Amino acid sequence: MTTARDIMTSDVECVGENDDLVTAARKMRDLNVGALPICGEDDKLHGMLTDRDIVVKCIAEGGDPASTKAGSLGEGKPITIGADDDLDEAIRTMRQYQVRRLPVIDGHRLVGMVAQADIAKALPPEKVGDLLEDISS
């Protein structure tokens, strides 16, 4: 059985809930990623921040990214998967919530990230198209 832990990226960096969006954007640029988990001072996952969030929810609304905190854009409870959950559970979760990235938690601690591409690499080629269609629609 393939688990989230088997296919996840384990060296995930967070943006702090009190970091400003300029700091978050620079971290995204430096890491060449479009999303970062938002971690609190309590070391728990507080949400996800995307480059699109910064543009649409801050800049397009006339906000100041230098004074807007990353934590203010983390909405609701983050959609996650457990480190020992199997590949089918990751796929179901992505499909149900229409997300392309899943933070992987072990207990309450962030231990990695599973992206749509990670799952696609682990699937037989004939199933990849269905996955991409279901998650991207």
Q: How do the domains of the chain map onto residue ranges?
A: 4-136
Model confidence pLDDT, tens digit, residues 65-97 = 999 999 999 777 889 999 999 988 999 999 899
38 φ/ψ sector (left φ>0, alpha ψ -120 to 50, else beta): beta
Tokens of 84: 């020992």
Model confidence pLDDT, tens digit, residues 27-64 = 999 999 999 999 988 878 889 999 999 999 999 999 99
Task: From 112, 108, 111, select the one nearest 44 (Cα to Cα).
Answer: 108
107 φ/ψ sector (left φ>0, alpha ψ -120 to 50, else beta): left
State residue 134's pLDDT score.
Answer: 65
Instruction: Work out the pLDDT band at 132, boundaries 50, 70, 90.
Output: low
Q: Whole-structure pTM over 0.75, yes or no?
A: yes
Task: From 14, 25, 28, 33, select the one nearest 65 (Cα to Cα).
Answer: 25
State residue 130's pLDDT score.
Answer: 67
State residue 137's pLDDT score.
Answer: 60
Model confidence pLDDT, tens digit, residues 95-127 = 899 888 999 999 888 999 999 889 888 877 766
The topology under which CATH files domain 4-136 is: CBS-domain (3.10.580)
CB contact at 8 A, 33 and 90: no
